[in-house]
Structure 1
Amino acid sequence: MGTWISTWPTGPADSRLPALLCLPPAGAGCQQFRAWQPALAGIAQVYGVQLPGRENRWREPMPDTFGEAVTAVVDELRHTVAADRPLVVFGHSFGGLLGYEVARRVRPRALVVSACRAPGHWDGAGHGIVEDDAELDKLFDTAGVDPAFLDEDTRALMVAMLRKDAQLSLSYAHTPGARLDVPVHAWGADGDETVSAEELAGWAEVTTAGFHRHTATGGHHAVLRRPAPVLEQLAGLLRGDGDRLPRTA
């Protein structure tokens, strides 16, 4: 079995550096965050969560439930990052939901989510992807992928990954409990047709330590396509001075 957490050190490992845990969107792997490590060199060690069924774990079966996936990530994280080491969790879209449930168990310094509806708005969110090819094509479009230019095998693999992640999301049921006592930063995009302003604003209900709204320009994946602003914010949070950074909310 492969590991749930990947890392890409640019030099000798330094366990004193803060850790940034990155969770990718549905249908994607964590290798996209490899490019973030040079940008945060000397500030943090970047870790990516790798679900089964993609990249180096493509032969492995998905967990049966959302809760099983969260438990596996948290168990490995606790063996990878010491409890007293500063940690910031970042998740994009479906990865934001996973990141939230991880944060409920490990209490990071901050939770940063982008293009992700708040937990109370997730009920049934994956039905369209699981059941409707038109919804899948729409999702390819938001990712900047034209299905017409994909060969049959590549499209089949991408569809399988998206549907498995969507099926996993359907097993999620938000269980209200104690709110997070860490700040939550939610990034949205002014052209996002997948996550509404109301769904993004719902993140204010999950924390007692401050909610901060930020806006990017573009569509659903705007933050991942042009990550400089969120990387600047993450660097500040990792250093412990995030609240003094200019806000775009």
Structure 2
Amino acid sequence: MGNWISTWPGGPEDTALPALLCLPPAGAGCQQFRAWQPPLAGTAQVYGVQLPGRENRWREPMPDTFGEAVEAIAGELVRMVGTDRPLVVFGHSFGGLLGYELARRVTPRALVVSACRAPGHWDGAGRGIVDDEDELDKLFDTAGLDPAFLDHDTRALMVEMLRKDARLSLSYAHTPGARLGVPVHAWGSDGDETVSSAELDGWAAVTTAGFHRHRTTGGHHAVLRRPEPVLEHLAGLLRGDDTRLPRTA
């Protein structure tokens, strides 16, 4: 079994820096976050969560349940980062849900989610991706990928990864309990047809330490396409300077 968490060099004293854990959306791998390390050099060491079935783990089977994946990630995170090192968790879309459940098991400095409905709104999410070809085409369009311009093998691989993650999300059931004792920051986009404003507002109910809404434009994956505002935001949280947050568009 391969590693659930990847990291990339950022300087000679990486382990002394705060840690930023990044969780990608459904159907994606974590290598996209490699590009986040240079802008955060000297501020944080970036770590990416890698689920099986993609990139360097493409031959490995998926876990049977959402909870099994979370426990595996949490165990490896503690071994790699420890429990005393400052940590910020960032998750995009499906990665935000994973990030939330991780934050219930570890104690990050903050949880940042983008384009992600609150846990109480996840019941049944992903069923359309599993069962409906038209829903899959909509998802490709949301990601800016025209299925007509993808070769058959590439599209088949992407569809299979999306469906694996969608099946994993269907095993998730939110169990209300103690609320998080860390602030939650939720990023949404005015052009996102996948996550509604009410679903983002639902994050306020999961924390006792403050809820903050941030907005941008450009669709469901806007934060990943234009990450500069989020990187500035994350850098402030990693420094422990919550007063220097970016203006939201």
TM-score in terms of structure 1 length: 0.98
Alpha-carbon distance between aligned partners in 2 of 1:15 and 1:8, rounded to the nearest angstrom: 12
Aligned ranges for residues 181-200 of structure 1 at < 5 Å?
181-200=181-200
- Which residue number in structure 1 is paired with residue 138 of structure 2? 138
Q: Residue by residue, what CA displacement relative to the aligned partner does 1:180-220 show, whole Å, maximum 9, x if unpaired? A: 01000000000000000000000000000000000011100
Is the contact between residue 234 and residue 242 of structure 1 (CA under 8 Å) also seen in structure 2?
no
- Which residue number in structure 2 is paired with residue 174 of structure 1? 174
Q: Counterpart of 1:148 in 2: which secondary structure? A: helix
Q: Counterpart of 2:14 in 1: which secondary structure? A: coil
In the alignment, does 2:53 pair up with 1:53? yes
Alpha-carbon distance between aligned partners in 1 of 2:202 and 2:180, rounded to the nearest angstrom: 14
Where structure 2 has 5 or more consecutive residues not aligned to the other structure, the ranges are: none
In the alignment, does 2:200 pair up with 1:204? no
In the alignment, does 2:102 pair up with 1:102? yes
Alpha-carbon distance between aligned partners in 2 of 1:14 and 1:74, rounded to the nearest angstrom: 20
Alpha-carbon distance between aligned partners in 2 of 1:42 and 1:233, rounded to the nearest angstrom: 15
- Which residue number in structure 1 is paired with residue 29 of structure 2? 29
- Which residue number in structure 1 is paired with residue 156 of structure 2? 156
Cα distance, 1:9 vs. partner? Answer: 1.0
Alpha-carbon distance between aligned partners in 2 of 1:43 and 1:50, rounded to the nearest angstrom: 22
- Amino acid of the structure 1 residue aligned with 2:14: D
Cα distance, 1:16 vs. partner? Answer: 1.5
- Which residue number in structure 1 is paired with residue 71 of structure 2? 71
Q: Deviation above 6 Å: which 4+ runs of structure 1?
A: none
Q: Counterpart of 1:34 in 2: which secondary structure? A: helix
- Amino acid of the structure 2 residue aligned with 1:33: F
- Which residue number in structure 2 is paired with residue 220 of structure 1? 220
- Which residue number in structure 2 is paired with residue 40 of structure 1? 40
Is the contact between residue 18 and residue 44 of structure 2 (CA under 8 Å) also seen in structure 1?
yes
Alpha-carbon distance between aligned partners in 2 of 1:247 and 1:175, rounded to the nearest angstrom: 34
Cα distance, 1:128 vs. partner? Answer: 0.3
CA RMSD of aligned residues (A): 0.9
Is the contact between residue 14 and residue 44 of structure 2 (CA under 8 Å) also seen in structure 1?
no
Cα distance, 1:26 vs. partner? Answer: 0.1
- Which residue number in structure 1 is paired with residue 115 of structure 2? 115
Q: Counterpart of 1:6 in 2: which secondary structure? A: strand
Alpha-carbon distance between aligned partners in 1 of 2:196 and 2:138, rounded to the nearest angstrom: 16
Alpha-carbon distance between aligned partners in 1 of 2:13 and 2:59, rounded to the nearest angstrom: 29
Q: Residue by residue, what CA displacement relative to the aligned partner does 1:51-105 show, whole Å, maximum 9, x if unpaired? A: 0000000000000000000000000001000211000000000000000000000
Q: Residue by residue, what CA displacement relative to the aligned partner does 1:99-147 show, whole Å, maximum 9, x if unpaired? A: 0000000010000000000000000011100000000000000100000
Where structure 1 has 5 or more consecutive residues not aligned to the other structure, the ranges are: none
- Which residue number in structure 2 is paired with residue 19 of structure 1? 19
TM-score in terms of structure 2 length: 0.98
Alpha-carbon distance between aligned partners in 2 of 1:186 and 1:161, rounded to the nearest angstrom: 25
Cα distance, 1:15 vs. partner? Answer: 1.7
Q: Residue by residue, what CA displacement relative to the aligned partner does 1:213-237 show, whole Å, maximum 9, x if unpaired? A: 0001110000000000000000000
Aligned ranges for residues 225-236 of structure 1 at < 5 Å?
225-236=225-236
